[in-house]
Amino acid sequence: MAVRNQLIKRAPEAVWAVLADGTRYAEWVVGTDESRPDQGSWPEVGSTIAYTVRLGPWTLHGHTTVRRCDPPRELELEVDSGSLGTARIAIDVRPWGADSLVVVDEHPLTGPGGALHNAALDVLLQLRHRSMLSRLAKVIEDLPRDLSDMH
């Protein structure tokens, strides 16, 4: 199971402000080179952001769809990477004193990741999540406190 958590030294509303900005995903999602609003009003259910991943000479385009949204606590996404398949990513933002505990739970749904899902793949996802959550914490904690703690 690919579940990882990170303590972020800001209130859940500050975390949510970054999650609710579809243009900022490339700042913290590992491997993403660019993200932009695509359809609907992010992060409403059914809305999408488009993203680009560059690996050397290769460029991959995909999109992420909001499947569940309960601000400022839960965001559930379906990432569609074309021929690489889809994955479910649930982000849970829990109050932790004055801070936030962010829990990410990712599971491949279709494509090679879904067909080959095993403990080794979960280890790779854990490594990716460690970096991703660290980057998310840095983005949020680097915001001026008066702008990031909007409660």
Query: Per-residue b/e over 100-127, b at no fewer than 16 CB within 10 Å?
Result: bbbbbbbbbeebebeeebeeebbeebee
Question: Strand ranges (DSSP E) for 11-85?
Answer: 32-39, 48-55, 58-70, 74-80
pTM attached to this predicted model: 0.85
Q: Residue 94: its pLDDT value, please?
A: 97
Please choose, from the candidates 92, 35, 44, the residue with its C-alpha nearest in 3D space to the C-alpha of residue 62: 35
Cα torsion angle, 112, 76, 2, 141, sign: positive
Q: Residue 120: its pLDDT value, please?
A: 64
Identify the three-state secondary structure at position 134: helix
- Residue 150 pLDDT greater than 60, yes or no: no
**68-121, pLDDT tens digit by residue?**
999 999 999 999 988 778 989 999 999 999 999 999 998 888 886 666 666 666
Range of the domain at 118: 2-148
Cα torsion angle, 23, 87, 83, 133, sign: positive
Domains held by the chain: number: 1
Q: What is the CATH number of the domain that holds 140?
A: 3.30.530.20
- Residue 39 pLDDT greater than 60, yes or no: yes
